[in-house]
Structure 1
Amino acid sequence: MKATHPDAQWFGDARFGVFIHWGPYALREIEASWPLMPHSKQHISADEYERLAEEFTPDKYDPKQWAKAIKESGAKYAVLTAKHHDGFCLFDTKTTDYNSVQRGPKRDLVGPYVEAIREVGLKVGLYFTTIDWYDPDFATIPISPHIQSPKQNVYDPNRWWEFHKRFVEQLRELLTNYGQIDLVWFDVPGFGADRWRSHEVKQMMRNLQPHIIINDRLPDAGDYATPEQFVPTVPPQGWWETCMTMNNQWAYHSDPAGYKSEVALLETLLEVAVKEGNLLLNVGPRPDGSWPEEAIVRLKRIGEWLAHSGESIYGTRSVPEHHPTSYYGPTTRKDNTLYLHVRDIPRFPIEVRDISGIVTNVRLLRNGKALPYEVQEVHGYWGGLNGTHTVNRIKIQLDAAECDEWNTVVAIDFENSPEWPRNLHK
């Protein structure tokens, strides 16, 4: 069930956020944590991996620049990996010395991020995984082989609960030491709700921060679903969010050829919005804390488009499922406005069929320019209902010279919320 607190409702309208995977692994341009697993193509030993924490000295870490880039991208929230599966904490914690204050950076990296993101008016999210491959007590309960700890595995349920105490304490530190945190992004549970004591954990979190939003990877306790690296054909019920990389891995990699095109990322954002989801798009910062130019360019391009057409993305809803072909293209709606996303130069007037409502204006969303249009009344018969009913066919003139290079949004304003009748037969 999604969060009901009034201060949590922003999530259902946000549509776009930025994910940040950052840690010592960036030094080797390997994926976050997974190279610890023997089956990984990037596999390195635990000793070699853990030594990276001493080499990790991000002297170009400037969270205010991060926040500026995220704000300009049009994103409404950001999520930083406070702790990944490797167990390395980017924050000050009393539970382990494997953290950024006692190792290479010699400082808390989460605090400045939280302050910078909050300062520009964005919602603050923290990624905090459940599993921990550094903590030897995590290895004391059998788990799926592909996420089994690289430490020596000795069955001892009592030691597992010692780990769980540290897990809860680290969460408590994150939710008490940094002011308001809007979202916690859990990952890879491996066990069910009983093993994680999910409901107790969630209650503790809500006691500390009543507005907090939690994803579904804390078993049986999440507020929203998290498909990863794809957009579902049929979207989940309720709140949901697709998390996706810009290139071929979550962590930093220097190869520019691996990046998805700007248009492909904009297409994904549109598809997610049409299905009432959010897109959490990832950036993997360099080990020094700076961002790859390829990521900056793509976020800037998305932000430029959202600056003039974001009205058709933020807070929008889908066209009713029973009548998706009213317009042959992606469509979103909000209040009394229908948004048509025109991705090609139209050869004929744009048509919206079988829709009821009085049109008050048709405009080019990018600049507000009024577009020529005509409304034709069409009489149809609905099976199971007596008599005929009148609906509208709207024809809109959109010239090639008015078209955006990627997606031209045409807004149709109605006097009241438009309606789509079911099962129309002509």
Structure 2
Amino acid sequence: MTKRFMHLLFGASVFMFQHTLPAEAQIKATSKETLPAAKSGMPQHDPPITRPLNTAIGEAGNDYGFDMAPETTLKVVEGAVKKIPSKLPPGPFKPSWKSLQANYQVPSWFVGAKFGLFMHWGLYSVPAYKSEWYEKHMYGNKDMIAWHSEHFGPQDKFGYKDFIPLFNQEKFDADAWAELFKKSGAKFVIPTAQHHDNFAMWDSKVTPYNAKQMGPKRDLIGELCKAVRKQGLKFGVSNHGIENFQFINPPADMLEQMKAEKADLFDPNWIGFYNVADRSDTACQNFLVNWFERNVELIDKYQPDMLWFDNGIDQRYLDPLKLQIAAYYYNRAKQWGKEVSISTKKAAFAPAGTNITTIGSILDFEGRIPPGIRTGVWQVDSKIGSTWGYTSDMGVASAASIIGTLVDIVSKNGTLLLNLSPKADGVIPQEQQETLLDIGKWLDVNGDAIYGTHNWIQFGEDGPHKIRFTVKGDALYAIIVGKWPGASILISSLAQGQSLQGKITSVTMLGSKGQLTFSQNATGLKVNLPSVPPCDAAYVLKITGLKMNSPTWTATGNPINK
């Protein structure tokens, strides 16, 4: 991911408030029109949003203080697009925002999925220290430089590349992983195909730095793709690779020494792996062309149901390149007869400037849940433990904690993308497996309140008990999060006089037999609960008789304008 160390240093970013932009602005705004006047050779960062933003739905723009895009210009990016060797497949999608808007629709399979699995799976799990940003900090952070030197040797003698032979994945069993994912109740799986470190986890012909030729000598993505689909789950890939170009920024003395010795970062055999020795415009263009080629290879080899990008593609000056890959991917999907989608953060695919005007992409929030209901279609990527990549001392959240997060997200109309952290030997640690299996057991009982649902008129209440609401058809689900409340519970949101349409006719608890007795007055709906809890975490009441609001997803994924 791109922001976690920044968050530690500067604090989590804060949502601001902004009014909805008119839909026609999405088409009129092109990458050139939304860019500030460029100074020769200077990066063209997106200007900050100064208008108020809608905090309730998590509206945001491309806050350039935290992006990981290559520090370049629109001219360089347009030059890269001209060098792209691959031709666009025939189909309705052209590399323009207008074409994307006219032809894109959120995949129907995603609308009701509500729970997927993500993972940070890569070389950083070998040192298993601090985070998946190990490469950046072993060359740039004073304490990490010293720690690496103490445990593995000086950076000029043992660089990040030297972890590749140790990333052997000898215990990796794709079928066992896929069976675990199925039991967890997840509906789709998105492993890391490539992280910021530039190592490809698949059998690649467009980069030599890949898992088939080095390290495990296996097509890890290919094996997992086959196993996951055999379980009937959707399979996507995440690509953080565009962030590699300027990911490593060592101190001057380290750079000078390595340059003089032609060691590690300046080793001729590894210059294309690190992208440190040459950061000229020509080098950046070649890098961007290769980024495109790697995505094309992933698309053609694995036909991913979702192509997920991190913050590195956010900036507007990258729009011409993003539009090329979007048109390629969506036209390919038309040829396959599949519903697919790109997923991005902030305003990466929102040329009008904010994420309520996204075109051709499902919005992803990194570890942040909007505080209110956000209609449309969106997801939150959230980690199962204390770090995204595997670290030897990471803590792992309980199933009850993750279920609470899932319920909160779904009550606001979103989807949870839960990150896992596999080890360098190919094992998913036992603690993570236990949490996944317990989530699956809960969903076996309570999945009707999650899958295929949408938000109610309010997402929940936080009185004596934390309650979250979801809707499916004519049923309202009230999910009691936390400890078992005891003999009864009062739901104040269902009090008489609350402008509710219809009359409650029955209340049941998922996992328990028979109807529950209840009474309703001006203070709320009081429900007498079963004597024995049906599960070990959140408890779901199914309430019928009231008239429910309609589904709130949109074909574009954007919030419904009001």
Question: For the residues of structure 2 that align with 1:349 and 1:285, how far apart are their CA atoms?
Answer: 40
Q: Are residues 89 and 362 of structure 1, via their aligned partners in 2, closer, same or farther at CA, if it must alter by over 3 Å? A: same
Question: For the residues of structure 1 that align with 2:510 and 2:530, how far apart are their CA atoms?
Answer: 14
Partner of 2:309: 186
Partner of 2:511: 366
User: Counterpart of 1:85 in 2: which secondary structure?
Assistant: coil
CA shift, 1:121, in A, is 0.8
Does the 8 Å CA contact 1:215/1:223 hold for their aligned counterparts?
A: yes
Does the 8 Å CA contact 2:488/2:526 hold for their aligned counterparts?
A: no
Corresponding letter in the other structure for 1:213 = S
Corresponding letter in the other structure for 1:267 = G
Corresponding letter in the other structure for 2:417 = L
1:274-315 CA distances to partner (integer Å, 9 max, x unpaired)?
Answer: 111111111111111111000000001111000010111112
Counterparts of 1:334-413 in structure 2, within 5 Å, are: 334-343=472-481, 344-346=484-486, 348=488, 350-351=490-491, 352-353=494-495, 354=498, 355-374=500-519, 394-402=525-533, 404-413=535-544
RMSD between aligned residues? 3.1
Question: For the residues of structure 2 that align with 1:370 and 1:316, how far apart are their CA atoms?
Answer: 22
Does the 8 Å CA contact 1:77/1:125 hold for their aligned counterparts?
A: yes
Partner of 1:63: 174
User: Counterpart of 2:508 in 1: which secondary structure?
Assistant: strand
Bigger Cα displacement from structure 2, 39-48 vs 300-309: 39-48
Partner of 1:414: 545
CA shift, 1:153, in A, is 5.6
Question: For the residues of structure 2 that align with 1:40 and 1:70, how far apart are their CA atoms?
Answer: 39
Question: For the residues of structure 2 that align with 1:193 and 1:307, how far apart are their CA atoms?
Answer: 43
Corresponding letter in the other structure for 1:11 = F
Corresponding letter in the other structure for 1:157 = D
Question: For the residues of structure 2 that align with 1:190 and 1:364, how far apart are their CA atoms?
Answer: 45
Does the 8 Å CA contact 1:225/1:236 hold for their aligned counterparts?
A: no
Question: For the residues of structure 1 that align with 2:197 and 2:142, how far apart are their CA atoms?
Answer: 14
**Does residue 343 of structure 2 align to residue 215 of structure 1?**
yes
Q: Are residues 33 and 73 of structure 1, via their aligned partners in 2, closer, same or farther at CA, if it must alter by over 3 Å? A: same
Question: For the residues of structure 2 that align with 1:171 and 1:341, how far apart are their CA atoms?
Answer: 40
User: Counterpart of 2:236 in 1: which secondary structure?
Assistant: strand
Does the 8 Å CA contact 1:139/1:153 hold for their aligned counterparts?
A: no
Partner of 1:145: none
Does the 8 Å CA contact 2:512/2:530 hold for their aligned counterparts?
A: no
TM-score (norm 1): 0.82
CA shift, 1:328, in A, is 7.0
**Does residue 457 of structure 2 align to residue 320 of structure 1?**
yes
1:125-154 CA distances to partner (integer Å, 9 max, x unpaired)?
Answer: 101114253xxxx459x9xxxxxx964365
Counterparts of 1:29-178 in structure 2, within 5 Å, are: 29-30=128-129, 31-37=131-137, 38-39=140-141, 42-43=144-145, 44=148, 45=155, 48-133=159-244, 138=245, 151-152=275-276, 154-178=278-302
Does the 8 Å CA contact 2:313/2:322 hold for their aligned counterparts?
A: no
User: Counterpart of 1:396 in 2: which secondary structure?
Assistant: strand
Partner of 2:404: 267
User: Counterpart of 1:160 in 2: which secondary structure?
Assistant: helix
Does the 8 Å CA contact 1:375/1:393 hold for their aligned counterparts?
A: yes
1:103-139 CA distances to partner (integer Å, 9 max, x unpaired)?
Answer: 1211211111001111111110101114253xxxx45
User: Counterpart of 2:112 in 1: which secondary structure?
Assistant: helix
Q: Are residues 14 and 357 of structure 1, via their aligned partners in 2, closer, same or farther at CA, if it must alter by over 3 Å? A: same
Q: Which runs of 5+ in 2 are unaligned?
A: 1-25, 27-99, 149-154, 250-272, 350-358, 551-562
**Does residue 195 of structure 2 align to residue 195 of structure 1?**
no
Bigger Cα displacement from structure 2, 37-46 vs 163-172: 37-46
Question: For the residues of structure 1 that align with 2:278 and 2:391, how far apart are their CA atoms?
Answer: 35
Does the 8 Å CA contact 1:357/1:417 hold for their aligned counterparts?
A: no
Question: For the residues of structure 2 that align with 1:412 and 1:347, how far apart are their CA atoms?
Answer: 18
**Higher RCO, 1 or 2 (CA under 8 Å, sep at least 6)?**
2
CA shift, 1:199, in A, is 1.5
Q: How many residues align?
A: 392
Partner of 2:116: 17
Partner of 1:253: 391
Corresponding letter in the other structure for 1:176 = D
Bigger Cα displacement from structure 2, 401-410 vs 246-255: 401-410
Q: Which runs of 5+ in 1 are unaligned?
A: 143-148, 379-391, 420-426
Question: For the residues of structure 1 that align with 2:460 and 2:243, how far apart are their CA atoms?
Answer: 47
User: Which has the larger share of helix?
Assistant: 2
Does the 8 Å CA contact 1:246/1:281 hold for their aligned counterparts?
A: yes
